[in-house]
Amino acid sequence: MIGGVAWSTVGDLLLRHLYLAGVPLLVGLLISLPLGWLATRYRWLAPPMIAGTGLLYTIPSLALFILLPLLLGTRVLDDANVLVAMTLYSVALLTRTVADGLGSVPGATRQAATAMGYGELRRTLVVDLPLAVPVITAGLRVAAVSNVSIVSVAALIGVSQLGQLFTEGFNRNDMGPIVVGIAACVALALVLDAGIALLSRVLTPWLRAGVAR
Partner 1 sequence: MIRFESVTKRYPDGTTAVDDLSLEVPRGGITVFVGPSGCGKTTSLRMINRMVEPTEGRILINDEDVADRKPARLRRSIGYVIQHAGLFPHRTVLANVMTVPTLIGWDKGRARTAAMEAIEKVGLTADQASRYPAQLSGGQQQRVGVARALASDPEVVLMDEPFSAVDPLVRTDLQNEVRRLQRELGITVVLVTHDIDEAISLGDHVAVMRQGGHLAQLASPGELLTEPADDFVASFVGKDRGYRKLGFTTTQVESDPEETVALGEDVPAGRGWVLVVDEDGQPLGWVDRQGGTGGPVREEELHRMGSLAEVGDSARVFLDAALSAPSGRGVVVEDGRVVGTVVPERVLEAIRARGGSAA
Radius of gyration of the chain (CA): 20
Which one, 173 or 212, has the nearer CB to partner 1? Answer: 212
Q: Residue 80 interacts with partner 1 (CB under 8 A)?
A: no
Q: Residue 111 interacts with partner 1 (CB under 8 A)?
A: yes
Q: Residue 44 interacts with partner 1 (CB under 8 A)?
A: no
Number of Cβ within 10 Å of residue 30's Cβ equals: 13
> Which of positions 81-110 make contact with partner 1 (CB under 8 A)?
106, 108-109
Q: What is the DSSP string of 8-76?
A: HHHHHHHHHHHHHHHHHHHHHHHHHHHHHHHHHHSGGGHHHHHHHHHHHTTS-HHHHHHHHHHHH---T
User: 116, 171, 173, 202: which one contacts partner 1 (CB under 8 A)?
Assistant: 116
User: 8, 44, 115, 202: which one contacts partner 1 (CB under 8 A)?
Assistant: 115
Q: At a CB cut-off of 8 Å and minimum separation 6, what does 114 contact?
A: 123
Give the shortest CB-210-to-partner 1 separation in angstroms: 7
Give the shortest CB-107-to-partner 1 separation in angstroms: 9
Half-sphere exposure of 125 (CA within 13 A, CB side): 5
User: 117, 171, 173, 202: which one contacts partner 1 (CB under 8 A)?
Assistant: 117
> Which of positions 193-212 make contact with partner 1 (CB under 8 A)?
204, 206, 209-212
Q: Can you tell me the distance from the alpha carbon of 54 to that of 44, in angstroms, rounded to the nearest whole number?
A: 16
User: 104, 118, 125, 178: which one contacts partner 1 (CB under 8 A)?
Assistant: 118
Q: Can you tell me the distance from the alpha carbon of 61 to that of 7, in angstroms, rounded to the nearest whole number?
A: 28
DSSP letter for 193, please: H
Q: Residue 158 interacts with partner 1 (CB under 8 A)?
A: no
Q: Residue 57 interacts with partner 1 (CB under 8 A)?
A: no
Single out the segment in contact with partner 1 by CB under 8 A; choices: 14-22, 41-49, 51-59, 127-135. Answer: 127-135
DSSP letter for 5, please: B
Q: Residue 43 interacts with partner 1 (CB under 8 A)?
A: no
Closest CA to 160 of 79, 97, 88: 79
List residues near partner 1 by CB under 8 A: 106, 108-109, 111-119, 127, 130-131, 204, 206, 209-213
